[in-house]
Structure 1
Amino acid sequence: MSFGGPQWPQEPQQQGQQGYGQQPGHGQQPGYGPQQPYGGPQGFGQPTDPQGFGQPTGQPNPFPGAPDPFPGAQGGGQTPDWGALAAASASRSRRKRWLLIGGGALATLAVGAIVATAVVTTNRNNDTAKNGGGDPTGAVSPTGTPTPEPTFSSVAPPPPPNPMDYISDPKKDKAPLTAEGLFPGKQMSMNKRSYKKGATSATTNCASVTQGGLGTVLKQNGCQRVLRATYVKDGVAITVGVAVFPSEAAAQKAKGQATGGIAPLVGAGVRDFCHATVCLRRANSIGRYAYFTQAGFADGKKVTKADKPVFQASDDLGTFAFNQIYARGRSQASAAAGAPGE
């Protein structure tokens, strides 16, 4: 064994050479490796024999003529300075430790820089989201939590109110009803054809404003009120009368049973017409309202099938009455749709 410091390197014995400690003449068996020389560690690091035998200067070879028990250890030069070698090894170990410590510190700084960058980036993204410039898809909210996707109720919203419901049911048809409200303005225009408005009237005595058997029909079906207005255009006069009933069924029945006609309304520049002559009478209904028209020449001339202006005037006033009644229902439906609790 060695006495302090690293062990000397061992080399195998060469063939034909007796190993140290073997009996001569026992063949060429390999030696048992180098043995510690007598004298112990004395002379380590001392100047070597100038002859190169590897023995310390001033120390005789204890076995003259025997093979060198430490082949290769001396190398023909000075004995290695084992203390210097040990110091160099320790220096390398310290340098390696400093390199590891320095590398760890650099890695820590690099990780810190990455984390700081991530924090700065996150804060910048959050500021953008708070200012309304974030992702419009709502991927991340300003608080950093996922923005919930929009939800929709599985219950279908109720349909908007139907105007017909309001002009068919007296419990819903509560809007004020006047002749001037139903026939507003000083004239009426239909498809660029203008009609000047004459007199208007309203009464609860439905039969008093009719001709022939229409009064009886209105009374039998529960007529509550009749509103009239007269319009004139190019010598043709037309009176339209709107009768109000308690139900849609009553209005339809009155229309089907209609006979005679609505009495012409004179005044406001319109003289008597459709007396003792032939005029055009029509009847129709919408909701709980039935409307009737009587059209003829203002000078009393009889109306024939060839008198297209009279038929056109009757159509225009009938369409106007229909539109006005339906507009009444639409207005009440719109008001109900915007009212709370409806």
Structure 2
Amino acid sequence: MSFGQGGPGWGPGDQQTPDWAALADASATRNRRRKWLFIGGGALATAAVVAVVATVIVTAGSKDDGKSASALPSPPALPSDSAHPQPSFSKVAPPPPPNPHDFISDAKKDTAPLSVDTLFPGKTLTTGDRTYTKGATARTANCASATRGSLGSTLAADGCDQVFRATYVRDGVAVTIGVATFPTEAKALHAKQQAGIGLAPLAGSGVPGFCDGGHAVCRNLFNSYGRYAYFSISGYTDGKSVTKDDKNAFAAGDDLAEFTFRQIVARGQSEAQAAATAPAG
């Protein structure tokens, strides 16, 4: 008896006795083959399932349902703040700031302290490259006493309240500046128009007499701003006359007149600012 190719053979001596060891090995080999086939088939089956699932996932993700990314539903709108109170703005325009000129044009509004020291502070006055030393000062309620000639009667007729004077000197040129106050701007303007020459020079405190006796020619200026009229007289302390080409005497008179004007303007600005920042009521 024999088996086909690949079958087990018989043992030694040809005694028709099966070779059990060989048969056992062959059986084990067949069992191992079946086992690997089973495991391999399971792996293939598992791979097939994974492939199907992956296909379904890919297909579902790429399915064209007519909605592009831009057509996706928009996020819900955020709630508005309409429920909260909104700031409101007054339609009434704020009042304009006070006009400084109004305060220095009427004695009823022009109530800040007023003295020689507020009008002519310090011991010197510097303007540009020129420095003047302050001499004598004076204040009087008898306006005519600070004048000479017809200016006194003019001041009295227009209701002059008081006159402040201060004298400054530089390089032998002395200037007396006088400020007269009136109840209203109109009164001060009329006094200026009628003034002419007439402020009395004020000597003392280191400044000798000047423009006295009518011998020397002196320069006179006059102007007004608000309820203030201001006058000046400029001359040499050595008695020399001022000529029309005298730059030193002219510069001194102009400097003091400009300074006085600025002091009056600054007074109005200060009063206007105080009124604007004062608490209501």
Name the TM-score, length of structure 2 as normaliser.
0.68
Does the residue aligned with 2:169 lie in a helix, a strand or coil?
strand
Which of residues 172, 178, 183 is equivalent to 1:246?
A: 183
Whichever residue aligns with residue 153 of structure 2, its letter is T
Matched, 1:256 2:193: yes
Does the residue aligned with 1:312 lie in a helix, a strand or coil?
helix
Which of residues 233, 240, 252 is equivalent to 1:313?
A: 252
Does the residue aligned with 2:104 lie in a helix, a strand or coil?
helix
Cα drift, residue 309 of structure 1: 0.9
Looking at both structures, which has the greater relative contact order when contacts are Cα pairs under 8 Å and sequence separation is at least 6?
Answer: 2
Matched, 1:195 2:132: yes
Partners of 1:315 and 1:172 in 2: how far apart? 29
Q: What does residue 304 of structure 1 align with?
A: 243
Matched, 1:226 2:163: yes
Q: What does residue 64 of structure 1 align with?
A: none
Does the residue aligned with 2:233 lie in a helix, a strand or coil?
strand
Cα drift, residue 172 of structure 1: 0.8
Which of residues 317, 321, 328 is equivalent to 2:267?
A: 328
Partners of 2:208 and 2:132 in 1: how far apart? 16
The runs of 5 or more residues in structure 2 that have no matched partner are 1-74
Partners of 1:241 and 1:294 in 2: how far apart? 9
Cα drift, residue 225 of structure 1: 0.2
Q: Which has the larger radius of gyration?
A: 1
Partners of 2:263 and 2:129 in 1: how far apart? 17
Partners of 1:159 and 1:140 in 2: how far apart? 38
Once the two structures are superposed, residues 227-260 of structure 1 have per-residue CA deviations (whole angstroms, 9 ceiling, x without a partner) of: 0000011111000000001110000000000122
Cα drift, residue 170 of structure 1: 0.9
Q: Where does 1:1-342 land on structure 2 (aligned, <5 Å)?
A: 148=86, 150-275=87-212, 276=214, 277-341=216-280
**Contact 1:241–1:262 (CA under 8 A) maintained in structure 2:** yes
Partners of 1:340 and 1:233 in 2: how far apart? 46
Partners of 2:247 and 2:80 in 1: how far apart? 72
Runs ≥4 in structure 1, deviation > 4 angstroms? Answer: 144-147
**Contact 2:158–2:187 (CA under 8 A) maintained in structure 1:** yes
Partners of 1:285 and 1:259 in 2: how far apart? 13
Does the residue aligned with 1:272 lie in a helix, a strand or coil?
coil
Once the two structures are superposed, residues 90-115 of structure 1 have per-residue CA deviations (whole angstroms, 9 ceiling, x without a partner) of: xxxxxxxxxxxxxxxxxxxxxxxxxx
Same amino acid, percent of matched pairs: 57
Cα drift, residue 261 of structure 1: 2.1
Once the two structures are superposed, residues 148-185 of structure 1 have per-residue CA deviations (whole angstroms, 9 ceiling, x without a partner) of: 3x543211111111111110111111111111121000
**Contact 2:178–2:232 (CA under 8 A) maintained in structure 1:** yes
Partners of 2:83 and 2:125 in 1: how far apart? 63
Whichever residue aligns with residue 292 of structure 1, its letter is F
Partners of 1:243 and 1:299 in 2: how far apart? 28
Partners of 2:145 and 2:130 in 1: how far apart? 31
Whichever residue aligns with residue 152 of structure 2, its letter is G
Relative to its length, the structure with more helix (as a share) is 2
Does the residue aligned with 2:203 lie in a helix, a strand or coil?
coil
Name the TM-score, length of structure 1 as normaliser.
0.57
Partners of 1:237 and 1:341 in 2: how far apart? 48
Whichever residue aligns with residue 226 of structure 1, its letter is V
Q: RMSD value over aligned CA atoms? A: 2.0
**Contact 2:196–2:222 (CA under 8 A) maintained in structure 1:** no
Once the two structures are superposed, residues 180-199 of structure 1 have per-residue CA deviations (whole angstroms, 9 ceiling, x without a partner) of: 12100001112232111111
Partners of 1:290 and 1:140 in 2: how far apart? 66
Once the two structures are superposed, residues 303-327 of structure 1 have per-residue CA deviations (whole angstroms, 9 ceiling, x without a partner) of: 1001011111111100111011111
Once the two structures are superposed, residues 276-309 of structure 1 have per-residue CA deviations (whole angstroms, 9 ceiling, x without a partner) of: 2110001000000000000011111001001011
Once the two structures are superposed, residues 103-158 of structure 1 have per-residue CA deviations (whole angstroms, 9 ceiling, x without a partner) of: xxxxxxxxxxxxxxx9xxx9xxxxxxxxxxxxxxxx988xx96673x543211111
CA shift in 2, pair 1:146/1:225, >3 Å: same
